[in-house]
Structure 1
């Protein structure tokens, strides 16, 4: 680990004034510290934000929920409002990491997790995400866990978060504060596909700090399900995950549908237009299978991960079927 300066600001304004290209904010540190130990991240300054007033979870005027960036993953998963009104989010958080990590990891930090691609973590090998222009050995190397959607010739890494997949399905908004003031970012726009600049994971400016996550009123409650498929049931990242939500009309037609995929792309994967095209169709396994086929139509597997296409299709069908069953048999 390289030497670094440390500061603990007393206010949000003070924190963003200290930010810069060679500085990193730290809260729980469950990902950043690992990266620093491996010399993947080498910040000249670490800005400790744990003293800032960002730990509140409150109901908003429109009936939604605002979650402070320093609320721990464990606190959020077991929060009474989240369990009652956003069970999809609670399920996703509890599917991720271990209890010890959830106790430390922060809501804002979860959004900033970096890929767990083993080439990215190995400073001895090339990686365009770590060293732009050096190459992507995963394309022709060991790529079983890598992307099948939205990848580029420069990067085939996947986003590791479970929580973010649920937030994508819930259409959260990210509240950030920088030197220019505050802004809200739709969750679909927060994370980036790799393109030619895979080193950029999100759209944050270097001085911007995540202060909260805003959830709109839930479009579905019981009729939702988070499904995570992984190599082992204990602490492991998803090969494929699905955050699914349904609104089923009295005539058993689909009145609302949202599906976000994890483990398949550089960001949680959704197709809002495709979801809308399903409205009015029967809420049946056949409809879910047709949706799954269409959502994976542009999948481009690598040498070792073609199985993810079939796995993702089956996972979508299963998640939607279980979401529907949860409403019919609460």
Structure 2
């Protein structure tokens, strides 16, 4: 069978899912023929290791007319038996067999607002979210099989979009193994700090984390926020400055080696998010033995289980209390340091690939 995999978002924040899925599919499947569809900028970055895997340029930006018309035409010319769309961004004019991954529904419920011109604001904050909601509904109804990455998202798809439960399969993701290559961040050497890693979109709830840190009054601790500088991180920096909140350190973009050092040297990882599809950063923190304090929102308790402590992300005082009491409880910290790596070890990418291959087989058998 010929299977096309849409890897156009392999170089985005959710691209690791695609990259690892391709890596392990190449290890376990020597029977099917695969065509991996890539943007032009990514074409030379990804190289197949299995002779059954080839690649093709699909340089069509998501949510554009080019995607709807030209991408559909490319797929018809390739004539795959099945297409795996790794997100809802796909041509509605393609009517062949398909499997779609729904990684999360955060963007259905949250809009990452930033102030621009009135027309841009209207398009981005009103029109685009509406189009996205309609697209997600159409995609869920038209896919032969659906893949979600937690049971929480699976339940959302089934209950909110009336998807047939028999057509929706959960394939958990996995964290990366701890790195032995580290690069210290000079400004943080010898200091105690709690850590957050990721982007600063509003649903990540970092403003509440900063407030909770201030309320907790953690003497001798810093709050370290690591993520690529952007509009939203800029807003947070202004917020900290205006309220004169001390000991908040914006690390900006960090290399893999610096990230490993942060995980190894932080006292606590805090994940205050209001919505997630999986929550990989917390799981990776656990793999380093770093204790995790997490929001109770959406899928996070499902992924972290008993290996984390939890707080209501909309209650700043509760968040502050959980952070402060956890740091003060040596027995609890020791328990979390032991439980974290065990929990992280329960997830692996090979199993993700094996489960995905079974979904492909189910989709190919469907009428």
Higher normalized helix content (fraction of residues): 2
Higher CA-based Rg? 2
Q: Check whether TM > 0.5.
A: no
TM bucket, shorter chain: under 0.3
